Amino acid sequence: MELEKLLYSTYGFNSFRPGQREVIEEVLKGNNVIALLPTGMGKSMCYQLPAHLLPGSVLIISPLLSLMQDQVAQLKKMGEKSVVAINSFLKPEDKEKIWNSLGQYRFIFISPEMLVQPFVKKQLQRITISLLVADEAHCISQWGFDFRPDYLRIAEVMPLLNHPQVLALTATATSKVTNEIIKYLNIPSPFIYTHPMDRKNVVYDVKRFDDQKRKVEWLKKFVVDCKGPGIVYAGTRKKAQQLATELTNSGLATAFYHGGMEHQDRVFVQQQFQNGELDWVCSTNAFGMGVHIPNIRHVVHFQLPTSVEGYVQEVGRAGRDGKPALATLLYAEGDERLVESIVMDELPTTREIREVYANNTAAERLVEQGIVRETALRVIAYWQSRLPLEGTLRKIEELQMEKIKQVEKIRNLVTIQSCIRQYISKCFEQHLLEKPGNCCVNDGINYSVFQEETKKIEKETPTSWKDRLDALLPS
């Protein structure tokens, strides 16, 4: 069957987006594939369509519960019923039903932590899994070394599943990250598809301030003038909440979002934003994956992101509809000290490593006593099973040096005088062949384009609750 016909008959699309066909063809040939496709390019279709031609089930390893739920909801909206997400929030009776009919599901979503549980592995062994998908595969490098080492254990499950072929999907990966994906998924010589990661409709801006107070004042004026919808990224949970309060006090429908919130509260904020009930979300980098809102016009980084890769991921949430979108990075002297402390805090300290190695049988007690952090213990336990003490100390030191390099790249982003778009492309070892007219602050920005988009949104969006109800319930 021709792929275009299957695409139309199954999902109602007339043609593929750039890169989709090339990746799908390689998957259907039985090859392991790494696909680097920019945010909004339809990465999910690269496994959704092959699932209708491959035997058995497709197992999708997904980093966030909200992302899983969104993907499940999207598939069901497209008429796909044989889809399930296995997570810790399932009721016991629902889990029992899923285990009893596991082989009947075409799409099975799961987290890396759930995947490596002995009972779950045993259940997955009973069924045919033809394709294992590592969604947001850069997390293997970004999170696996830091606080979710189960990302590095995915390959250990492969033999139990009869070595299914692998499709790794990501929007951002340097050659170093790509090599880590190959190594830790144990897929030598994969087919690698790399699409240019530059998004021509996203314009890069940088604003520099003398102090944090002036930053807040600028942000309050900016969000009132620009309306949204937009995301403000902050470096800490506390700062995300503070900024949300400031914007709410300015009369804007705003909420905060971070990983420390209750699951239901996070889902509620995400749904409000998707339904257009919020103008702005102030968040840590926990917000964004699985948020499919085409008309986000603005992404503001109130503080420096921890890496260029993370920055591009977060900026990629804007302008998915192809219309102009503005990415604004705010900087005040000393901001790099905060980001350095954040990235260093993500890794175990030398003291924590030595404590765990010295108290091997009582490591859990160290967490209870507050001597070792729970996230640090997970990372140390992974390397402890592979390396002696000195080897683990060296490994963590290497990771620290890598993070310092990442911070240096981000610092360069706010200080360079040349084209920011070109600099970002260079960070991903890509050559920028063509720059758009509206490019970045160092080349000059035409801000009136975004004011025009704001006026269009104002015309299209009901402003009062009465207007909104009238729009929802026309007479």
Cα separation, 274 vs 295, in Å, equals: 10
Domain ranges of the chain: 3-194, 197-461
Tell me the CATH number of domain 197-461, given options 3.40.50.300, 2.60.40.420, 1.20.1250.20, 3.30.930.10: 3.40.50.300
What is the tens place of the pLDDT at every residue in 320-367?
Answer: 888 999 999 999 988 988 888 888 888 999 999 999 999 988 888 999
Q: Is 76 exposed, middle or buried (0-12, 13-18, 19+ CB in 10 A)?
A: exposed
Series of mean pLDDT values for 10-residue runs along the chain (475 residues): 88 91 96 90 92 95 84 88 89 90 95 94 96 93 85 94 95 88 94 91 95 93 87 93 93 90 86 90 81 88 91 90 94 88 88 94 90 92 94 94 91 94 93 92 91 58 50 46
The answer to whether the beta carbons of residues 138 and 177 sit under 8 Å apart is yes
Query: pTM (2 decimals)?
Result: 0.86
- Residue 332, phi then psi, degrees to nearest 5: -130, 150
Contact 205, 329 (CB under 8 A): yes
Q: Which residues contact 459 (CB under 8 A, 6 or more apart)?
A: none
CA pair distance 218, 188, nearest whole angstrom:
50
**Omega before residue 436 within 30° of 0, cis:** no
Q: In this predicted model, what pLDDT tens digit does every residue of 79-120 receive, in sequence order?
A: 888 999 998 878 888 989 999 999 999 999 999 999 999 999
Place of tokens 């005040």: 332
How far is CA 279 from each of CA 226, 247, 257, 264, 273, rounded to the nearest angstrom? 10, 10, 14, 20, 7
Q: Which helix (H) or strand (E) covers residue 230, if one does?
A: strand 230-233
Helix axis angle for 308-315 and 420-427, nearest 10°, is 120
Q: Name the class of domain 3-194.
A: alpha beta
